[in-house]
Every structure is written in structure tokens, then in C-alpha cells.
Structure 1
Amino acid sequence: MKSLSDNDIIAGLQKSEHYAFQELHARFWYPLYRLAFKKLGDKDETGDLLQDMFVEIWEKRETLYIPNELGNWLRNRLWYKIAMYFRQRGFKQQHQENFRIFLEKEKIGTSVAIDGLEFKESNLYYEELLDIIQQCIENMPDRMKEIFRLYRQEGMPIKEIAESLELSPKTVKVQLHRGLLKLKKATENQKVNMNELLLLLWLINHGI
């Protein structure tokens, strides 16, 4: 069979074509599993969460609206599923420690009540918010976007980024700080509370 494009998969899903769902599952299951496992740390729970997500996609296949690249859209749904997982089950000790490390790394401090995190339960709310975050990243200047991607999505240390791009570590830090300010400004009209914003930033930070 000819390799399907993202648009082919989307169109096939909306027509209830099983081959499209099978291709979606085959193409994206493992990358999404790896991302989710980094946050959950449990193979069985990660598998269950992914299974639930793909079942929901199939059940809603005829009404799906995917406004951006398929991989980004799937990651956004994954972040929402993980956020709800933490809301329903609470942060385990290992998750609390990783989240604290993230807060310290961002120099935000640890005043957030991690054990009492509360999140809006609207699926649409999270999809819109994550779309805004992803679009903000896409609209960053090329150099800033590349630094932001390497640091947040690839988990590369500042020193390595500086060496790779032939920049000073100070320049890298400045670009990262400006990128974070852009994200905060882009989401200021969404009435995002600090807990929600910090959790979402932690979720999309693949490197932790």
C-alpha cells in the first residue's frame, strides 16, 4: 500500500476507514508511548493511557477537527490525557520530584502546591491552550525556535546547545528567557492559572 500522508489518515478516519486508524496507531503509538512513559514512569499505566486515547480518537473519528500537523495534534491530546491522569490520581513522589526540578530549573521557585494541583476539565480548553502554545513556538524567530526546541523538546543542556549552534551560553539563556516570556504573553488572555501553565510547560518539556 502507498504510504499515507497525514491528510490521508485524517480523511480516512473521518470516513471510518479501519486502514487509516491502523496506520495512525502504527505510526504514532511508539513515539507517544515514549513521551508518556517519561512522565508516568510506569509501563502498564502508560499503555492504558495510550489505549484510552486511541479508543477516544476512533469513537470521535467522524467529528475530529485537526487544525495543525497531525503529530502535534496527537501530542496535545496526550498532554491533556496526562494532565487529567495527574488530576485524578495525584502526583506520585517521583513525579513531584521531577516537577520540582523543573521549577528550580526555570527559577520559578517551589511555592506551587503540587499535591493540590487543580485543572480545568474541558477537553476543548486544553486543546485550544496547547494549540496557542505550539503556535507561539512556531512563530518564534528561527534561531529562538531552534534553541527552544533543543532545550525543551530534546532536553539538550545549554552548554551543548551553545556549542552546537556556535553561540555563547549567555546568548542561549537570553533566547530561552525571551521565548518563555512570549509563551506567557500568548496565554495571558486564556485565564490560565499558574498551576495549569506550569504543568503544561512541564509536560511539553520532553527532556525531564
Structure 2
Amino acid sequence: MSVHFNERVVLEELKAGSEQAFEKIYFQFWESLFNHTYQRVKNEDEAKELIQDLFTDLWHKRHSLDIRTSLNAYLHAAIRYKLFKHTKLKIAHENYASNYKHVNSANSTGDRLDFNELNQAFERALASLPLQPRRVFELKYYQGMSYLEIANSLHISISTVEKHMIKALKRIRKQIKRFSAC
């Protein structure tokens, strides 16, 4: 890779499908994005996964990219958005796990019954999902796979994985909504 990085030229080459242009962008910005992401998540694997998702998205969207700022600003804004979504999901997951532990350790029979009802409602909601959203959800939360791993496993795009996950989460939330006041 040359020392000189002509962003406009590299972006045009990327839009034309050049893997070399993609590699130039990757090597130009990976370290900066990693440092920024790692400062937020404090976990090397999570930071690398988020950056991998970002670059995968960049490759998939290469033909339709409309970057009105610098590529650096675009990529950092995109990773901030991914960090926001990641943090939101992580907090929701931790809250669910915390409630699960709390209810599971409670002595009250009523609490156990409420938890059992919630768990049954969750299982029914999961079972009622169409096949692909259910498979995506299970691979993410039961197998711990990343969106990229799920996409590769199911031979679908990452954006399709995201759409299936959004659909699954919306339907599950809707069906267990009455338990949110517990």
C-alpha cells in the first residue's frame, strides 16, 4: 500500500467493486477504529467483532455509498452507531439476566410463578416466530454467534440477519409486554 491515500480515488474504486481499494480503506482506518471502539467496550473480541461488522457493511453497501464527509468521519460515525446499538442490546441482555437471577433466587412462590409464566410466554413467542427469524435469534443468543457468523452459517447477508433479528425481537417483546411491569 502506498503512503499516499487519495480518498476520492479509493472510494470510486471501492464503488466499482475493487477489493484492493477495500483493503486500502481497511488498513488505513482499522487501527483508529479499533482504538476508538476498544475504549468504549473494553473487550478486544467485542471491539474486533463490531469493526468486522462495520467493514462487512461497507463492502455490502459499496455500490450505493454516498459519503458527504470524509471517509474517516463516515466510518467513525458508523462505528458510534454500532456501539450505540451494541450497548443497547447488551444492557437489555444484562437486565434480562439480572431479572432472571433475581427471580430464580427469590423465595416467594408468587415470584417463581410469575417467572415461570414469563418464561413460558417467551418460549411461546420464540416458537411462534417464522423459521428464519427464530434461527437467527437462537444462533445469536443460544449459540453466541456474531451477525457475520450467522450470515455465513445461513448463507444470507448481514443486513438480512439484522432484519430477522429486529423482527424476532419486536414479536417477542410484543408477546411478553405484559410482564414488563413485574
Larger radius of gyration: 2
Which structure's relative contact order is higher, taking Cα pairs within 8 Å and 6+ residues apart?
Answer: 1
Q: Which has the higher helix share?
A: 2
